Amino acid sequence: MPAAAVEHAVKLPVLAQMRDQKGLAEALDLGLGPLRSRRGPLARAAAAVLASAAEEVAA
């Protein structure tokens, strides 16, 4: 789904986009959690969103 469509639907900006993370579904099914690696796409996207939120709070 394009970011613009998501922004329109939720009336909020998209702060991060990520590619598929190999093995994520399996890790969740096994109860291992989504952030097995700090270098994975989900971890990088989460870090970017948190950094953006911190900038907004500091401003």
Q: What is the pLDDT of residues 15-51, one digit of tens each?
A: 888 877 778 788 888 888 766 667 778 788 888 899 9
Considering its fold, how many domains does the chain have in total? Answer: 1
Q: Which domain holds residue 17?
A: 3-58
3-state secondary structure at position 56? helix
pLDDT at residue 8, as a whole number: 97
Say how far apart CA 12 and CA 22 lie, in whole Å.
Answer: 28
pLDDT over 90 at 56, yes or no: no
